[in-house]
Amino acid sequence: MIVVMKDNASKNDIEKVVKRIEELGYKTHISRGTEITLIGIIGELNREELIDSLGAYPGIERLVPIQEPYKLAGKSFNDSRSRIKIGEDVVIGGKEVVMMAGPCAVESEQQIINTARAVKKAGAKILRGGAFKPRTSPYSFQGLHEKGLKYLKKAAEETGLKVITEVMDPRDVELVARYADIFQIGARNMQNFFLLKEVGKTDKPVMLKRGMNATYKEFLMAAEYIMSEGNHDVILCERGIRTFETYTRNTLDLVSVPVLNKLSHLPVVIDPSHGTGQWDLVGPAARGAVAIGADGLIIEVHPEPINALSDGQQSLKFDKFEELVDDLKKIARAIGRDL
Amino acid sequence: MIVVMKDNASKNDIEKVVKRIEELGYKTHISRGTEITLIGIIGELNREELIDSLGAYPGIERLVPIQEPYKLAGKSFNDSRSRIKIGEDVVIGGKEVVMMAGPCAVESEQQIINTARAVKKAGAKILRGGAFKPRTSPYSFQGLHEKGLKYLKKAAEETGLKVITEVMDPRDVELVARYADIFQIGARNMQNFFLLKEVGKTDKPVMLKRGMNATYKEFLMAAEYIMSEGNHDVILCERGIRTFETYTRNTLDLVSVPVLNKLSHLPVVIDPSHGTGQWDLVGPAARGAVAIGADGLIIEVHPEPINALSDGQQSLKFDKFEELVDDLKKIARAIGRDL
Amino acid sequence: MIVVMKDNASKNDIEKVVKRIEELGYKTHISRGTEITLIGIIGELNREELIDSLGAYPGIERLVPIQEPYKLAGKSFNDSRSRIKIGEDVVIGGKEVVMMAGPCAVESEQQIINTARAVKKAGAKILRGGAFKPRTSPYSFQGLHEKGLKYLKKAAEETGLKVITEVMDPRDVELVARYADIFQIGARNMQNFFLLKEVGKTDKPVMLKRGMNATYKEFLMAAEYIMSEGNHDVILCERGIRTFETYTRNTLDLVSVPVLNKLSHLPVVIDPSHGTGQWDLVGPAARGAVAIGADGLIIEVHPEPINALSDGQQSLKFDKFEELVDDLKKIARAIGRDL
Amino acid sequence: MIVVMKDNASKNDIEKVVKRIEELGYKTHISRGTEITLIGIIGELNREELIDSLGAYPGIERLVPIQEPYKLAGKSFNDSRSRIKIGEDVVIGGKEVVMMAGPCAVESEQQIINTARAVKKAGAKILRGGAFKPRTSPYSFQGLHEKGLKYLKKAAEETGLKVITEVMDPRDVELVARYADIFQIGARNMQNFFLLKEVGKTDKPVMLKRGMNATYKEFLMAAEYIMSEGNHDVILCERGIRTFETYTRNTLDLVSVPVLNKLSHLPVVIDPSHGTGQWDLVGPAARGAVAIGADGLIIEVHPEPINALSDGQQSLKFDKFEELVDDLKKIARAIGRDL
């Protein structure tokens, strides 16, 4: 961190700032230019504490952060890419692009088992399905809760798939852990810090979705919350951000994949279903996602989208999903990956 | 809700849609134009259910919502403005513009009691102060927890102020209720639906902050979550939204005040401290807020901003706050309100 | 400008950067920390040239600008506030809050003369009215062109008002100059650099509207384009920015007033009509604008909004405008200004 | 267009609206529900005129557009995809993904000829290079103007490439037409309507860049401006939009490709250089662009990015560009296209 003093800062202003920094336990390095004085702060930095502590000092023009504040999620912590194992056979972050698929919500035993069989046959490794649904309206279908988790687990066991499902309430972490192989944290909960800490105390992988208005850095700081509790198996998931454009449900930021690869060692999964909100855009977005380097895709698939209890308009039918996976295999091979 | 069919929709397409709507328990009203057919849906609507149910039907061009989905928070539920009583003497939503003030975080008994005295003297009615702090970084100061709540309560009792403080975890609602007169739900938790339901089950007023990327309608739907559990005492708080502009911490949407007054009967409070992030912008923003019709203001005040453990750069000193309240009184009188 | 070198930058990397900076005619000041080396750049900086020149050098972590690039528009150029005279009697940027009012488009001689009389009576000093209209669709009414300018001028002369009107094409600057007292540059043309230069060569004041997605700094850089050609009489106008919220036509950034006052000496005018897009929000927004410190307001007023050829939904009728001005006078007095 | 009346609209309100619509020359179709009355408007619609004309009527809840306002750019005008021929050999919008490459700005004869040879060898068909540069600062390098156009033309003739270059001022259209095979309209000028009309009067193809804050519909309406003057050879170019994320120069909206393909018959080109602003993100973004279905790519290539006069940080060196084209060929083949 560098403190840039205002050009009219007095000697006294500068001394006060230096004193305060040293009180906080850091060393300083002062560099006086003809017009401007810079104060370098040396030591194991707590950036937010520094900003809080220095923010109101007169004479300070601005604080310039130099190093990133996400120690565990950042590139410097782990130069090679993290490979996250789900059970014995599935690795996210390796050569294979991993397909996760299933309905938005678990609606019935029959629905989820049929979907599990279809997505397994098409090539998926992980079954998705919500038992707790975050809905904008309190009057909408909120999920089957534990019954839904049971159906999901049963469908997965029968087909040999792994299970990913969302947890929304810190009080439900233990319950969901009994059925899931991967916790999903939804976009609306990306900064639900108590929930992050709670899954951070478990030993199950966590797929963290990017908040609709979260910068890359805030996204990695949220991952850091989980990791700082001891659980390093975090998978990042881009699912679209909110912009001025309303034609699509969200604006899918595919370039987040190479950006997050520059900043972090964690694997990155793309959700083209929420990212676009329209089933006929899911295929093109998925093709772009594989080519740009995603480590996995999570796609909504439903036996009968027109009868779905939620997100029917963005769900693929079984045959469309199978065709799409075939297309994606060709693109994966073209860039030297498996699928 | 009106269903607009595509201009190439077949008779069969139309019949399928009508059948589905009627299966869901609604009546329909079909209007055939020369080019386009419209299907009106009649009945007590569950809008999200309808969108989910019809989203994937072929032949549908679009669904046009007519009525707003927030029944309790909306204007039609309560034509007059809600007046929310805090204890015997304070009313939010009446003729008086209510001042809430205090430090970002409770840091010590001395800090909060001194601040309470100063803001009381300046004219504030409600004392703010965080005991649980949502921080972007897991390594930052997270608040004093119950100890902070105790100091806050004590300072309020001594000065005759009421207490507003944030609750972040549904498991803490009971604890916080023992010390607070008003629950605050932070912007990051605006769609933490389990938390909303939990405070909705209590009988204490709730100040709900608008999410950084929440539309007015989503904001009111979040209020609806609280109200649908039985607690109708909801206060809306605009605290800045996220836009492309990064010079200020957020973009404070002052026009939200008259907009929310059009859409809802709930009172609206402005937070110019988070809304701007810079202490020297807090005064102008507060002046604008009173003139545009806010029912209250919540302002960060700290005995020594330069030593604050958080948000020092946006906190006012005691004397600046006192001067500001004097200015605001003049504006309130100019528009026919008290303060 | 400070160059922050990467922590793994080699001595050779550093030397190359220093060499390049010195080739560009600047002096350097090197500060070597334990981990990071900083290179200060000293001299009359051309910031964009520097970013262009250094952007691709290996070993550079980032460039940190210290001083603002808008020399003429910035605070350091002129410590006191600019007062822009329009003819003998009107000053924008002084104690008086100046009202500009009139229809979106000049539609007929009768319409503009009636409006001129009404707004004059209510207290406006400047008459607005478009003769060239920027319309999203090529099939919409595009204005009366020179005929409109003539009607406008005539109405102004009869009532003693000054004229503000938009110029969109550099080829029309001379024509418009014959009829207008103030050029208006619309939001869509804020970075139409050839147009900016063209009005910069004249000696008439220019009101520059902020682009829908322009940061404060880009806004001031656009003002700089005009000023760098010799015309220093620039008035800044905030008219709403584009955000995710679509309920209002734009999001009116009222806090831009104190921000622009911090960064620049130029006066700031608010346009609550485009800023909200709804006539019943114009009044509250205008009240907020005066209280927050705007130097003027530009408001759409029309004899019969329901028959307006453009922007009827955001136009005020004569009596509503008169009432509004009365309200604004009270607020202006409350903050120590005239209107 | 459907007019939805408010639920409390009187019979008189409804009659007034119907009368006004019929005065404008349309027929109406009224549909009275139990609560709400709808008025369908029938005829060749001028949507913006209608919104303007009806916007201020009391009793109207909202106007619901049914058909798109871009007649010529829209899908209904031309069901098959447009194929735009550049000279004899190059087609944009066909099976081949067309590569456009070159420096941001033409800096010297040597620079552009070397670049032309290198990009030709790698597989590009079209040479890009700016002679008029839109710069945020008036103090930055603004291009070589006609001298730059001459160098560009000469380099193209020697190598057999076609030329694309930006025109910024309507007064320069004729000049630029003498040297260019394709006009480029920059993002900042997407709504410079006089410029759009001017290139619409020529018979040269126009590549129109999406404005930083333009919705898909505004983008197509801008294309409509060009087409309505008679020139139907418009190529759409996505180059990144402005969002809250500032890590990348812009947020590249790759999903715009399938969206624009749904809405329009015009070809779509992606600019990964401006879209990301960082040379090491250009490759991944380009790979995603080809896979998602772009008809072409425009990429900044420079002999020595570190000495570039503009945009060096986002330019590729010759060898990197050649490697990238090889990668893109594999992806193009995997999705059944040529490159």
| Spatial separation of the C-alpha atoms in residues A70 and B136, rounded to whole Å | 11
- Low-confidence stretches of chain A (pLDDT < 50) are none
Longest dimension (CA), chain A: 76
pLDDT reading at C65 higher than 70: no
How do beta strands D84-86 and D90-92 pair? Answer: antiparallel
Radius of gyration of chain C (CA): 23
Nearest Cβ partner for A255 among D257, D285, D331: D285
pLDDT attached to residue B33 = 63
pLDDT attached to residue B45 = 64
If you ran DSSP here, which 8-state letter would residue A138 be given?
T
DSSP states along D306-335: GG-SS-GGGPBPHHHHHHHHHHHHHHHHHT
pLDDT reading at D44 higher than 70: no
The average pLDDT across C212-227 equals 96
pLDDT attached to residue D59 = 83
pLDDT attached to residue D67 = 63
Residue with the larger pLDDT of the pair D37 and A223: A223
Chain position carrying tokens 């552009």: D112
pLDDT attached to residue B65 = 67
Chain C residues with a Cβ under 8 Å from any Cβ in chain B: 213, 215-217, 241, 243-248, 251-255, 257-259, 262, 275-276, 280-281, 284-285, 287-293, 327, 330-331, 333-335
pLDDT attached to residue B62 = 77
pLDDT attached to residue D84 = 97
Reference A87, options A206, A166, A204; nearest CA is A204
A6 exposure class (CB count in 10 Å sphere: 0-12, 13-18, 19+): middle
Tokens linked to A5: 């003093």
Phi-psi region of D78 (alpha: psi -120 to 50; beta: other; left: phi over 0): beta
Q: A123-132, B177-186, C192-201, D136-145: which has the minimum mean pLDDT? A: D136-145
List of chain C residues whose C-beta atoms are within 8 Å of the C-beta of residue A61? 66
Query: Is D140 close to C307, i.e. CB distance below 8 A?
Result: no
Query: What helix, strand, coil percent values describe chain D, rounded to 5?
Result: 40, 20, 40
For A232-256, the pLDDT digits (tens) are 999 999 999 999 999 999 999 999 9
Rounded mean pLDDT of chain D?
Answer: 91
**Do residues B251 and C241 touch, judged by C-beta distance below 8 A?**
yes
For D127-150, the pLDDT digits (tens) are 999 999 888 888 878 899 999 999
Query: What helix, strand, coil percent values describe chain A, rounded to 5?
Result: 40, 20, 40
For D249-283, the pLDDT digits (tens) are 999 999 999 999 999 999 999 999 999 999 999 99
pLDDT reading at C66 higher than 70: no
| Spatial separation of the C-alpha atoms in residues C273 and C278, rounded to whole Å | 7
pLDDT attached to residue B311 = 81
pLDDT reading at B268 higher than 90: yes
Tokens linked to D170: 């309507």
For residue B152, give Cα distances in angstroms to B87, B173, B180, C14.
17, 16, 9, 54
pLDDT reading at B192 higher than 90: yes
pLDDT attached to residue B41 = 79
> Which residues, 6 or more positions from D162, have their beta carbon under 8 angstroms from its beta carbon?
D86, D87, D90, D125, D126, D127, D156, D181, D182
The average pLDDT across C128-132 equals 96
Chain B residues with a Cβ under 8 Å from any Cβ in chain C: 213, 215-217, 241, 243-248, 251-255, 257-259, 262, 275-276, 280-281, 284-285, 287-293, 327, 330-331, 333-335
- Report residue D25: phi and psi, to 5°: 100, 15
pLDDT attached to residue A142 = 87
| Spatial separation of the C-alpha atoms in residues D39 and D115, rounded to whole Å | 60
| Spatial separation of the C-alpha atoms in residues A141 and B83, rounded to whole Å | 32
Task: Report which residue type is found at A321.
Answer: F
**Do residues A54 and A21 touch, judged by C-beta distance below 8 A?**
yes
| Spatial separation of the C-alpha atoms in residues B93 and B235, rounded to whole Å | 9
Q: Which domains does chain A have, with CATH numbers?
A: 2-64 (3.30.70.1140), 84-334 (3.20.20.70)
pLDDT attached to residue D57 = 83
pLDDT attached to residue A191 = 96
Question: How close A262 comes to chain D (CA, Å)?
Answer: 9
**Do residues C266 and C80 touch, judged by C-beta distance below 8 A?**
no
Exposure string for C29-58, b = 16+ CB within 10 A, e = fewer: bebebeebbbbbbeeebbbbbbbbbbbbbe
Rounded mean pLDDT of chain B?
Answer: 91
If you ran DSSP here, which 8-state letter would residue D299 be given?
E
For D195-242, the pLDDT digits (tens) are 999 999 999 999 999 999 999 999 999 999 999 999 999 999 999 999
For B109-155, the pLDDT digits (tens) are 999 999 999 999 999 999 999 999 888 888 878 899 999 999 999 99
| Spatial separation of the C-alpha atoms in residues C182 and C179, rounded to whole Å | 9
List of chain B residues whose C-beta atoms are within 8 Å of the C-beta of residue C330? 334-335
The average pLDDT across C210-216 equals 97
pLDDT attached to residue A128 = 98
| Spatial separation of the C-alpha atoms in residues C188 and C184, rounded to whole Å | 12
Looking at chain A, how many residues does it have? 339
pLDDT attached to residue A47 = 67
pLDDT attached to residue D321 = 98
Chain D residues with a Cβ under 8 Å from any Cβ in chain A: 213, 215-217, 241, 243-248, 251-255, 257-259, 262, 275-276, 280-281, 284-285, 287-293, 327, 330-331, 333-335
Tokens linked to D316: 């590729």
Long-range contacts of B86-91 (CB under 8 A, 24+ apart): B86/B125, B86/B126, B86/B162, B86/B181, B86/B182, B86/B205, B87/B162, B87/B181, B89/B125, B90/B125, B90/B126, B90/B162
pLDDT reading at B69 higher than 80: no
User: Which three-class secondary structure string do you get for chain B?
Assistant: CEEEECCCCCHHHHHHHHHHHHHCCCEEEEEECCCCEEEEEECCCCHHHHHHHHCCCCCEEEEECCCCCCCCCEHHHCCCCCCEEECCCEEECCCECEEEEECCECCCHHHHHHHHHHHHHHCCCEEECECCCCCCCCCCCCCCCHHHHHHHHHHHHHHCCEEEEECCCHHHHHHHHCCCCEEEECHHHCCCHHHHHHHHCCCCCEEEECCCCCCHHHHHHHHHHHHCCCCCCEEEEECCECCCCCCCCCECCCCHHHHHHHHECCCEEECHHHHHCCHHHHHHHHHHHHHHCCCEEEEEECCCHHHCCCCHHHCECHHHHHHHHHHHHHHHHHCCCEC
Radius of gyration of chain B (CA): 23
pLDDT attached to residue C282 = 98
Question: How many whole angstroms from its chain centre is CA C188?
Answer: 11
Question: How close C172 comes to chain D (CA, Å)?
Answer: 11
For C67-83, the pLDDT digits (tens) are 667 888 988 667 789 99
Helices marked H in chain D — which ranges?
11-23, 47-54, 109-122, 146-159, 173-177, 193-200, 216-227, 256-263, 272-276, 279-292, 318-334
Q: A143-157, C181-195, D36-50: which has the minimum mean pLDDT? A: D36-50
Q: Which run of H or E residues covers position C152? A: helix C146-159
For C206, the 3-state DSSP assignment is strand
Cross-strand partners of A280: none
pLDDT attached to residue B200 = 97
For A100, the 3-state DSSP assignment is strand
Interface probe, candidates A217, A313, A314, A318, chain B, greatest B C-beta count within 10 A: A313
pLDDT attached to residue B80 = 84
> Which residues, 6 or more positions from C326, have their beta carbon under 8 angstroms from its beta carbon?
none
| Spatial separation of the C-alpha atoms in residues D203 and D186, rounded to whole Å | 19
Task: Report which residue type is found at A79.
Answer: D
**Do residues D256 and D218 touch, judged by C-beta distance below 8 A?**
no
Task: Report which residue type is found at D177.
Answer: A
| Spatial separation of the C-alpha atoms in residues B218 and A188, rounded to whole Å | 12
Nearest Cβ partner for B56 among A170, A192, A308: A308
If you ran DSSP here, which 8-state letter would residue A299 be given?
E
**Do residues C20 and C57 touch, judged by C-beta distance below 8 A?**
yes
Radius of gyration of chain A (CA): 23
Query: Is C64 close to A243, i.e. CB distance below 8 A?
Result: no
